[in-house]
Structure 1
Amino acid sequence: MSYRRSAALLALAAALAAPPALAQTATQPASAAPAPAAAAPALIPTDSYTLPNGLRVVMNVDKSDPVVAVALVAHVGSGREVPGRTGFAHLFEHLFFLNSENLGPGGLDKLSARVGGEGANGYTNLDQTVYLQTVPSDALEKMLWAEADKLGFFINTVTPAVVAKEIEVVKNEKRQRNDNVPYGQVLPIAQAALFPPDHPYSWTTIGSLADLSAATIDDVRAFYRRWYVPNNVSLVISGDFDPAQVRVWVDRYFGEIARGQATDVPQPRLAMLPATKRLTHVDNFAPLPQLSVFWPTSAEGTPDTATSELMFAALTEAPDGPIYRAIVEEQKLSESIDGFVFDNQMAGMAIIIARGFDGVPLDKLSAAIDAGIARFKREGISAERLERIKATREAGLYQQIGSVSGKVQMIAESETLSRRPDMVDGYLARLRATTPADIMAALDRYIAGRPRLEIGSVPKGQEKLALTGASTAVVEAEEAIVQGAEAAVDQTADRAEVPRTPSRIDRSVEPPFGPPPVVATPAIWNGTLANGMGVSGIEDRELPVVAFQIAIDGGQLRDDPAKPGAASLVADMLMRGTRDRTREEFLNALKALGASLSIDVDQERTVITGTTLARNFDATAALVREMLTRPRWDPAELELARAAATAGIQASRAEPEELAELVARRVIYGRGALANDVRGTPASVAALTMDDLKRFMADTYSPRASRIRVTGAVTQGQVTAAFAPLAAAWTTTTAPKPLGSISFAAPARTQVYFYDVPGAKQSAILFARPGVARNAPDFFPGYASNFILGGGGFASRLTQELREGKGYTYSAGSRFDGDSTGGRVQLSAPVRANVTLESATLMRDIMRDYGATYTDADLALTRESLAKARARSFETPAAKLGLLARIGDDGLPADYVARENAALAALDKPTVQRIARTYLDTDKMIVVVVGDAATQAGRLEALGYGKPVMVPPLK
């Protein structure tokens, strides 16, 4: 799969349910590249073997941190299903977490919480189902015991009530990802149009509601016995462990599980598209017209897959991809385009998504894509440009293997494709060997002049923007909002004694912890540049990369409330070229270094984040200096930036959960700077002038209110030398303005605010109250107290009661957030529309009763889990930058980790109960609901807080 995962494609990628940022397959490009040199060390060194029952075991030893990732890889995705039984692979993934004979109810979720894991996780895609756990190294034997219990001692615990409840959870997931979001139907439409009905890629991984509703316990058992057998599974382990000891454990826990029916590796069966096909879908949730274009490509593992990815990147990536230039730069039809290649086991798809500006006919976007393809065929690609694209992918590859979780996911994909673990090395070698001639040959094979599928998504009432000659897309019927349509599921109705599967060992005894991991806070160095700007860092030689941030006090808080959005617009303009380089030249200079750069604006500050290959750190720092001290301020770029901001605001307002957050901001902050989307409003963006932006930067960006932090394969001396030119050029002496505050007052009484989204199949519910700053005495006790409430994933009451107990939602949680000037306590959940009142009532009651019902067992689980989780605290470059940020930005002491460890050890029930009384007062809360007012607003009066206030449409 492609490395590129941009925001506009999140819904599409989620629907395919691929893991985040998987490694591209290591496949040979068209020009028969040589195999990796024998002397080259493997990027992920592995040792693999096969048990007599067929289970493949792959081990990668990585002792850089005291953590281990374990992946149980079942070589079964939706591509193994048959019509009428779609969605089973994904449904089974859900069921697999819930119980087993010896783990008991809660299964891996409860175990992961107890041992300090990051939370049991898993994903299903077209080709595989992966169960992924990352835990401290002392819990490895426990995880192997647990995974074996799932594989061989699971199915007896699955009851009709469990299946019925989990079907409701999966339906909620489908509503959340497909039915209740803009453009959520694009992928289901595309798969049905590209593949014949009997092809297993013709349906989505999540399946159809009808098939899910028809699923029986016998269907589930048959699926388990066919596919969840050792000879169709790989066990992948990466991290800090002793391989000899692991072999003993694997044989002990997995060796006696019986081999199943033989399974094969699916063979390619490509999409067939004899002629170009155009479809139209009127999207009730879409704020803007969108064109999605699909081309059939090769299956994963064939010679063209690596070449196709590079070719498609060359076509679409900013700043000089010819399709990007045609749509964004020349015709100004959209603020960006997105594209990638899905290289699946049986067939591939190349995809472009262009979301037009308001009122743009989709025919114009289609014609612009044609113009870009024609230009690329005419002009070709230079060797220099191809090397830039390769450099970005090499850097991305190194980032992915920066964690043991990333490594096991890469190996998992390789195992599913070929039952080999080492494809990543071949991929890198062949990536480097691909030539411009290979790229142009792939263009002719798959794109230029080839049939394609075009799907036009148009907002309701704007059908005039649809593609000319398009047929109406067929979309699976959505369930109507009917009160009481779903019967209540009683999870206690059939909890009879589970039959025990015979075993040669006593599996009811959980293995002990291993030796306690030694968790050392990374050594931090500190310094000061010549202009007074602080700089800190952590040297880390695990990978040849460097990650860095520049934090500038002054984000949304510095916006003029009468004209919000300046902070965000300035950040965008900084990425649009310098006095010495156009935007295209600037971005290409970054790419040539294998560097990436982004600027994010939050409430309190603007943060420039970058990564680069270590060998190019000095050159990357020079580009950052150029960007900060010599911005281009191009009027033409400002127009593009305004259009991008407006489109982003409109898109956010179509997402129910983002709408709930925005409504909460309006209620909390009134007319203040924080009352808006960080990008402002469409009116304010249009009103902001170049002088406004220059004034904002002059008044806000100051080295005296900025900090640099760096982690990676670079010394303090190298960092200081690299940023010395920035210190010499950036000498602003203006005293920065006071930062302001994000704190707010609790309401005198709880009030419900309702924002109407007619026809919504889900309701987004949000409860909010004031919290405290990150450095306040109550913050860490509050953070720890929240673990059982909603911060502990499946260990939390919100998840256990709303999802596992009732099947009302796919996800629910709570946060105890704090920044340097204030904080917020928040609970949220997207729920099935016809249980809006029931869900809000349950959330309220969980909060109201939290202190009184908090037990000694809850306290013990919180202490154990959070203490052991420290082993995972500093594994990745992002985690290390976070450590430096909490010290530099939030004002925590350098030894805050040790202090919080002590506070956790001292945490007691009276403290948790005090936190609950103070911060979970359900009589003084803001409640926001985004959903279908006609069916749900009136019902919420029964919550006891009066008639909901109807929030007018946002301007």
Structure 2
Amino acid sequence: MKPNSLLVLLFILYTGFSYSQNKTGKSEEFKVEFEQFKLGNGLHVIFHIDRSDPVVAVALTCHVGSARETVGRTGFAHLFEHLLFLESENLGKGGLDKMSARIGGSGANGSTNRDRTNYYQTVPKDALEKMIWAEADKLGYFINTVTDPVLAKEKQVVKNEKRQSYDNKPYGHTLSVIDKNLYPASHPYNWEVIGSLEDLQNATLDDVKTFYNRWYVPNNVTLTIAGDFDTKQAKKWVEKYFGEIKRGADIPNIEKQLVTLTENKNLYYEDNFARVPQLNFTWPTVYKYHPDSYALEVLANYLSIGKKAPLYKTLVENKKLTDAVEMYQYDSEIAGQFTLQITAFDKINLNEVSKGISEAFKNFEAQGISQEDLNRIKAQQETAFYNGLTSVVGKGFQLAQYEIFAGTPDYINQDIKNILTVTPEDVMRVYNKYIKDKHFVATSFVPKGEANLALEGATLATVVEEKIIDGKEESFDASIAGTYKKTPSTFDRSTEPPYGQAPDVKLPVVWKKKLSSGLNLFGIENHEVPLVQFQLEIKGGMLLESANKIGVSNMLAQLMTKGTKNKTPEQLENAIESLGANINAYATDEAIFITGNTLTKNYEKTIQLVQEILLEPRWDVKEFDLIKQSTLSAILQQKANPASIGENEFRKLINGEESILSNNNIGTENSVNSISIEDLKSYYTQNVSPSISDFQIVGAISETNVNNSLAGLNKEWKAKNVVFPKIATTKAIVKSKIYFYDVPDSKQSVIRIGYPAMKAADKDFYPATIMNYRLGGGGFASQLTQQLREGKGYTYGIRSSFEGTNNKGSFTIASGVRSNVTYESVALIKEIINQYGKNFNKTDLEVTKEYLIKSNARAFETLTAKLKMLYNISNYNFSDDYTKQQEKIVKNITIEEIQKLAAKYLNTDEMIYLVVGDAKTQLKKLEQIGFGTPVLLNPSTETAKN
């Protein structure tokens, strides 16, 4: 261990956030304290103490993203995000993922963007030393473990991620086309973060090691620790485990590289998965924290979001060309871009959209932005900021972000000041400087065969479409153990540190009350941040719809927030946003939800608006028509997305067509077309009642204040006698079948395997989820992930789960696999399930128990997590301490009980097998599974006839 004199300590206390309220309601300044220091090797460390939960988040952020790559060697930064989880010299094979499963971590994860790569996890506080040891091992004792077989396998995983996230979905190539035309070939933002498949395939072991040795050095890394821990002890651990890692060569700051277009660039592409056309306009702008970036963010918000937005008014309300407008300022470290994205309705010519954009811009130029609207947007930004601080990992991210890109975590003070000082004149100035009459990149992504819908004069964009051929993928053997020379250290790093003192897990205190109207209240008081989050759950949803009118509750939920009796849609929206609040409504299969999130100081005004929304509907015909058109467009787009097709087709197969639950709750084209506004009124009059409703609330507010706030709603909302029809019982599956839905030329096959199972309150439901942890519910701890992703490289991700409510239950395995290993993947999944119970052993049981028990320390960290706890208590009649009861089940469960559960609930001969993929290459091979000839669900396609 190096002496402590090498620690360069710098303590900083910062404020600059808005106020919170204590339990007495008195305002007090909101503070976030942090401490930062540097090791002698350049590692920057930031500590933040938060003792609200017995957890700690550890994040390692490396100042390297795709911008540090070179032409021909793209995708390396993202590749390392994958590699660092696989193995290091002292963690061993499985690395941090394997350890996470034992210590109750949130699931070690990472992300890569243009400018940085980070690795993060939240763990119980007693595992802090383990995490510091593990992160140090990844940084300084990792690269020797990367061998040719390891690299070959992870290339396949990254390729699968690219296929799933870009190549096999609508508009997946859009950003690539934009960036290649917005930035010169020599610019670091010219290529995508995930890189090209060709570059990944050509990457050698020497290339990878060179990249690592240049960028993965302590003087290019920030370590953030946030949560409940002892800072003095943590400093000693950081010095012990990180201190002797060698400093790398000096890394100069990357220079700003703003770009200027000398002409408009107009491109189009016929998208294999698109069903409706999409138009993007992108202008070059400024980098992160540039003085103009703040006004550009306001500009994007004002032009596109809400009823008052010029683009919304013109394109959505007046011309009815689309149902939504998206605009955003994407600022990165050395440059930025400002993008307008519009997904038009079916058969809409994008030239009409372009004309509408020009018209909206002219209206904006004439009217500008008012101080009132600017204040409304700033109020939203304030609430959004606090929402980012409800978890310790969120606080850690925030601190690291400012340190790396602004030079100090304390920049938060200046950042907020910059946001608050934006003026209407600033907004108009940046519009004139960067947008008005300035050159841009236009992209038209249109359905196959509909190039006529693209912008006039557009030229064909260059898009590299991968060809997947059977037997052409690079082979590897993941079972080969790599041999390497261990890096010397001054102490034995091979011994995993012990646990610290076990955390004292305290369940949130729940209060309950039933109002005279029949409305049930459930609450948790928590003063960590000055926020309140709530949801009003009105039971029913699709369950109360007619079979020929599926979609009524979904449309009703959307209409509820489109004005009230005394407020136009625009006035209601402004009232909500001026409070910095969010109020949304949506429907599920079994309920309508009205949700809200607001600053505590604005809670009462927010709940008054909820009452108005609920009791004084506007029934705006114009808004109803827009919702109907938007819903029809969504239905059409789902038909082109393989993942959506998989969900919708599997729902039909698993529930049976006789059950209302076999439907997608947004409806079909026929059902939606048949729905009138009178149908919505009828549903509202008959079924929206406090007698079948629960109000769940968490945050910085007392039970008394909640009760007082709901007094008016309780008095005015009249109870009704709501009758729930009997749901048709799903017929048991006697014999397995394979069903295939043809999507020609798919790069991946979407797989869904499963059957009807238990409802949420069934006595076997939770024990079955315990049983499933090592099968497919435990992420990287699961056998499905280990074998299909880590062992074979077939997939980017796979999971299995038991899901249930009061009305239905199911077991499902879901994945997307490389198209040319569809049969192999299904066969391997079937084999894993068949052997799972028989082979379940002591190690499996120990890993399962350790994770499920220790993870309780972080089970209720965020407001959202606490709200989910209240949902479970209110819907399934769980006791307030149900998590403690579940913990007892975990502690007492045996291998024999797990095996019995597996035998009872994992029968591969009674499951439904669904594949969404390319029938002409994959359908025939699936006969080898042994369930006969697959049933083609859409046999009318030309490809299926071949």
Matched residue of 1:46: which SS?
strand
**Quick check: 1:561–1:672 contact (8 Å CA) kept in 2?**
no
Structure-2 change in CA distance of 1:423 and 1:947 (3 Å): farther
Deviation at residue 890 of structure 1 after TM alignment: 2.2
Aligned to 1:195: 183
Could you tell me how far apart the structure 2 residues matched to 1:364 and 1:424 are?
43
Could you tell me how far apart the structure 1 residues matched to 2:770 and 2:482 are?
36
1:385 aligns with 2:379: no
1:944 aligns with 2:924: no
Alignment of 1:384-403 (within 5 A): 384-403=372-391
**Quick check: 1:553–1:739 contact (8 Å CA) kept in 2?**
no
Alignment of 1:130-169 (within 5 A): 130-169=118-157
Could you tell me how far apart the structure 2 residues matched to 1:272 and 1:786 are?
54
Deviation at residue 786 of structure 1 after TM alignment: 1.0
Could you tell me how far apart the structure 2 residues matched to 1:743 and 1:204 are?
49
Aligned to 1:277: 265
Alignment of 1:53-92 (within 5 A): 53-92=41-80
Deviation at residue 895 of structure 1 after TM alignment: 2.6
Aligned to 2:843: 857
Moved more, 300-309 or 791-800: 300-309
Deviation at residue 272 of structure 1 after TM alignment: 2.4
Give deviations 1:51-109, integer Å, cap 9, x for gaps.
Answer: 11000001111111111111100000000001000000001111111000000010000
Matched residue of 1:202: which SS?
coil
Structure-2 change in CA distance of 1:849 and 1:714 (3 Å): same
Could you tell me how far apart the structure 1 residues matched to 2:49 and 2:842 are?
38
Which among 436, 458, 476 is matched to residue 448 of structure 1?
A: 436
Deviation at residue 428 of structure 1 after TM alignment: 2.2
Which among 783, 795, 798 is matched to residue 784 of structure 2?
A: 798
Give deviations 1:3-45, integer Å, cap 9, x for gaps.
Answer: xxxxxxxxxxxxxxxxxxxxxxxxxxxxxxx999999967532
Deviation at residue 953 of structure 1 after TM alignment: 7.5
TM-score (norm 1): 0.94
Which among 434, 447, 458 is matched to residue 422 of structure 2?
A: 434
Deviation at residue 381 of structure 1 after TM alignment: 0.8
Aligned to 1:618: 604
Q: Which amino acid aligns with 1:711?
A: V
Give deviations 1:648-679, integer Å, cap 9, x for gaps.
Answer: 11222222122111111222331432222210
1:306 aligns with 2:287: no
Deviation at residue 497 of structure 1 after TM alignment: 3.4
Q: Which amino acid aligns with 2:554?
A: S
Aligned to 1:916: 902
Could you tell me how far apart the structure 1 residues matched to 2:564 and 2:412 are?
37
Q: Which amino acid aligns with 1:501?
A: T
Aligned to 1:498: 484
Could you tell me how far apart the structure 2 residues matched to 1:890 and 1:655 are?
34
**Quick check: 2:97–2:107 contact (8 Å CA) kept in 1?**
yes
Deviation at residue 739 of structure 1 after TM alignment: 6.3
Deviation at residue 615 of structure 1 after TM alignment: 0.6
Could you tell me how far apart the structure 2 residues matched to 1:946 and 1:816 are?
27
Matched residue of 1:552: which SS?
strand
Structure-2 change in CA distance of 1:742 and 1:364 (3 Å): farther
Could you tell me how far apart the structure 1 residues matched to 2:685 and 2:386 are?
37
Which among 741, 746, 763 is matched to residue 777 of structure 1?
A: 763
Deviation at residue 916 of structure 1 after TM alignment: 1.1
Which among 463, 466, 475 is matched to residue 479 of structure 1?
A: 466
Moved more, 188-197 or 643-652: 643-652
Matched residue of 1:201: which SS?
coil
Q: Which amino acid aligns with 1:244?
A: K
Could you tell me how far apart the structure 2 residues matched to 1:575 and 1:817 are?
30
Deviation at residue 224 of structure 1 after TM alignment: 0.7
Structure-2 change in CA distance of 1:721 and 1:469 (3 Å): same
Could you tell me how far apart the structure 2 residues matched to 1:267 and 1:133 are?
31
Matched residue of 1:58: which SS?
strand
Which among 689, 701, 720 is matched to residue 676 of structure 2?
A: 689
1:127 aligns with 2:115: yes
Deviation at residue 843 of structure 1 after TM alignment: 0.9
Which among 281, 289, 308 is matched to residue 320 of structure 1?
A: 308
Q: Which amino acid aligns with 1:816?
A: F
Q: Which amino acid aligns with 2:204?
A: T
Could you tell me how far apart the structure 1 residues matched to 2:228 and 2:797 are?
32
Aligned to 2:625: 639
Could you tell me how far apart the structure 2 residues matched to 1:394 and 1:367 are?
35
Could you tell me how far apart the structure 2 residues matched to 1:946 and 1:607 are?
43
**Quick check: 1:746–1:925 contact (8 Å CA) kept in 2?**
no
Structure-2 change in CA distance of 1:479 and 1:37 (3 Å): closer
Q: Which amino acid aligns with 1:534?
A: N
**Quick check: 1:699–1:737 contact (8 Å CA) kept in 2?**
no
Which among 792, 805, 821 is matched to residue 835 of structure 1?
A: 821
Could you tell me how far apart the structure 1 residues matched to 2:128 and 2:87 are?
19
Alignment of 1:307-386 (within 5 A): 307-386=295-374
Moved more, 213-222 or 650-659: 650-659
**Quick check: 2:697–2:867 contact (8 Å CA) kept in 1?**
yes
Deviation at residue 173 of structure 1 after TM alignment: 0.5
Could you tell me how far apart the structure 2 residues matched to 1:879 and 1:140 are?
22
Aligned to 1:27: none
**Quick check: 1:743–1:821 contact (8 Å CA) kept in 2?**
no
Could you tell me how far apart the structure 1 residues matched to 2:43 and 2:831 are?
47
1:758 aligns with 2:747: no
1:928 aligns with 2:914: yes
Could you tell me how far apart the structure 2 residues matched to 1:246 and 1:598 are?
42
Structure-2 change in CA distance of 1:831 and 1:133 (3 Å): same
Give deviations 1:541-566, integer Å, cap 9, x for gaps.
Answer: 11111000001110122221122111
**Quick check: 2:659–2:730 contact (8 Å CA) kept in 1?**
no
Aligned to 1:868: 854
Matched residue of 2:93: which SS?
coil
1:786 aligns with 2:740: no
Aligned to 1:903: 889
Could you tell me how far apart the structure 2 residues matched to 1:433 and 1:237 are?
32
**Quick check: 1:660–1:765 contact (8 Å CA) kept in 2?**
yes
Could you tell me how far apart the structure 1 residues matched to 2:339 and 2:699 are?
34
Deviation at residue 491 of structure 1 after TM alignment: 1.6
Could you tell me how far apart the structure 2 residues matched to 1:954 and 1:574 are?
40
Which among 659, 676, 698 is matched to residue 711 of structure 1?
A: 698
Q: Which amino acid aligns with 1:223?
A: F
Deviation at residue 745 of structure 1 after TM alignment: 3.4
Alignment of 1:372-771 (within 5 A): 372-476=360-464, 478-493=465-480, 495-668=481-654, 669-732=656-719, 734-738=720-724, 740-741=726-727, 744-771=730-757
**Quick check: 2:518–2:692 contact (8 Å CA) kept in 1?**
no
**Quick check: 2:507–2:881 contact (8 Å CA) kept in 1?**
no
Structure-2 change in CA distance of 1:43 and 1:281 (3 Å): farther
Could you tell me how far apart the structure 1 residues matched to 2:16 and 2:473 are?
57
| Percentage identity across paired residues of the two chains | 43
Deviation at residue 492 of structure 1 after TM alignment: 2.9
Matched residue of 2:266: which SS?
strand
Matched residue of 1:632: which SS?
coil
Structure-2 change in CA distance of 1:53 and 1:678 (3 Å): same
TM-score (norm 2): 0.95
**Quick check: 2:145–2:482 contact (8 Å CA) kept in 1?**
no
**Quick check: 2:322–2:343 contact (8 Å CA) kept in 1?**
yes
Could you tell me how far apart the structure 1 residues matched to 2:553 and 2:56 are?
41
Could you tell me how far apart the structure 1 residues matched to 2:253 and 2:355 are?
40
Give deviations 1:220-247, integer Å, cap 9, x for gaps.
Answer: 1101100000000010111111111111
Deviation at residue 688 of structure 1 after TM alignment: 0.2
Q: Which amino acid aligns with 1:608?
A: I
Could you tell me how far apart the structure 2 residues matched to 1:286 and 1:104 are?
44
Could you tell me how far apart the structure 1 residues matched to 2:657 and 2:940 are?
13
Q: CA RMSD in A?
A: 1.7
Q: Which amino acid aligns with 1:138?
A: D
Could you tell me how far apart the structure 2 residues matched to 1:891 and 1:659 are?
34
Could you tell me how far apart the structure 2 residues matched to 1:627 and 1:712 are?
22
**Quick check: 1:554–1:739 contact (8 Å CA) kept in 2?**
no
